[in-house]
Amino acid sequence: TASIRSEGSGRVSLSGSGSTDSSGPGRDNSVDLPSHDDRWPRQNSLSMKEWDIPYDELKLYEVIGAGRFGTVYRGSWHGAVAVKVLHVHALNDHCAPLDTFKHEVATFRKTRHENLVLFMGACMKPPRLAIVTSLCKGMTLYTHIHLRKDKFTANKSVLVAQQISQGMGYLHARGIIHKDLKTKNIFLENGKVVITDFGLFSVTKLCFGNNARGDSLGIPSGWLCYLAPELVRALRPHASLHLPFSKQTDVYAFGTVWYELLCGEYPFKGQPAEAIIWQVGKGAKQSLANMQASRDIKDILMLCWSYRESERPDFPHLLSTLEKLPRKRLARSPSHPVHLSRSADS
């Protein structure tokens, strides 16, 4: 396992004018692009400077979550922020981590949408790599559904799903694949959906030794049921970075979120990873026989979970389908705002 300094080998400087890392003599201060990607225009690497937040300017308070690859802190930088600090000491040889990180940050900063977390900047000087976003209030859908066991009525589920589709439709229109859409990455703030962690999958999830824990495929629990058949079939030990993520795999993951909203649990609940891999890989789906929902609602699930990616709808299509679903008892009064009532809110 190489350290970040040798891995970075002279390419660690981002800003181009005068800022060098401390990697020693002979290292150039290049702003050259990652050679593996010619689509990234040269001037982009210069303009990234404005998103570069000096680590010293950040105040970090308590840890709000720790994963295998990073720690999320409540912090302060011109107001309340969330800071995801990446565990760079765990970098391995097999990915160009800094290039990946810069590239993903470059993608992240292009996003401006109501239903997407606000990207504020990043610390891009090794060994301090961190992503700074606005701090989401409220709780994640995961917390609502799986920890608090909050019940989402069909109507509430539809309102949440519409907002997810809006945010995801925007990302896809900008050519960004989320790659990690799941209820843990969707916050609910007073009825407003805020999606986090889009486009940062490689660097935050898989680069840093995807075999740290768990079974031989290194599959974190609660991840598998979001993976489309073509991803499941491509799972190999140590090779998760090259999974064939696509807009359609995001739609499959959306199907799972939709199922969680409606049923309050994960599909294939309680089954071992091997059993899920086997079933999904050959095209079996979670049975909906015991699900209390209308045909149209189940149809959305089945379409999103289509074995063939070409048969899955896109997000604009999903949005219009969701908008056409018959509403029962939705607005209690004409002035009732279009967001959720208190019970499933923070």
Please give the positions annotated as active site: 180
**Would you give the end-to-end CA distance of the chain in angstroms?**
43
Q: What is the smallest separation between the CB atom of 27 and Mg ion, expressed in angstroms?
A: 33
Among ligand ADP, Mg ion, none, the one that 117 touches (CB under a kind-dependent 5 to 8 A) is: ligand ADP
- DSSP secondary structure letter of residue 80: E
Name the residue number minimizing CB distance to ligand ADP: 65
Q: What is the smallest separation between the CB atom of 282 and ligand ADP, expressed in angstroms?
A: 28
Task: Name the site residues for ligand ADP (rule: CB under 6 A).
Answer: 64-65, 67, 70, 72, 82, 117, 133, 135-136, 140, 184-185, 196-197
**Residue among 12 and 194 whose Cβ is closer to Mg ion:** 194
**Residue among 64 and 284 whose Cβ is closer to ligand ADP:** 64
**136 token code pair:** 């989401």
Name the residue number minimizing CB distance to Mg ion: 197
Q: Does 197 bind Mg ion (CB under 5 A)?
A: yes
Give the CA angle between residues 321, 325, 330 to the nearest 5°.
135
**Residue among 117 and 160 whose Cβ is closer to ligand ADP:** 117
Task: Note whether 31 and 98 are within 8 A (CB).
Answer: no
Helices (H), the chain: 4-8, 42-47, 97-108, 141-142, 154-173, 201, 229-234, 247-263, 273-281, 295-304, 315-324
Residues 15 and 29: their CA atoms lie apart, in Å, by: 9
Among Mg ion, ligand ADP, none, the one that 133 touches (CB under a kind-dependent 5 to 8 A) is: ligand ADP
* Residues 258-287 close enough to bind Mg ion by CB under 5 A: none
Among ligand ADP, Mg ion, none, the one that 330 touches (CB under a kind-dependent 5 to 8 A) is: none
Nearest Cα neighbor of 55 from 155, 131, 117 is: 131
Q: What is the smallest separation between the CB atom of 72 and Mg ion, expressed in angstroms?
A: 8
Residues 134 and 88: their CA atoms lie apart, in Å, by: 22
**125 token code pair:** 């000087």
**Residue among 102 and 184 whose Cβ is closer to ligand ADP:** 184
Q: What is the smallest separation between the CB atom of 119 and ligand ADP, expressed in angstroms?
A: 10
What are the helix and strand counts (H, E) for the chain?
A: 11, 8
Q: What is the smallest separation between the CB atom of 140 and Mg ion, expressed in angstroms?
A: 8
Only segment of 117-125, 127-135, 184-192, 312-320 that touches Mg ion (CB under 5 A): 184-192
**123 token code pair:** 């610390």
- Binding interface with Mg ion (CB under 5 A): 185, 197
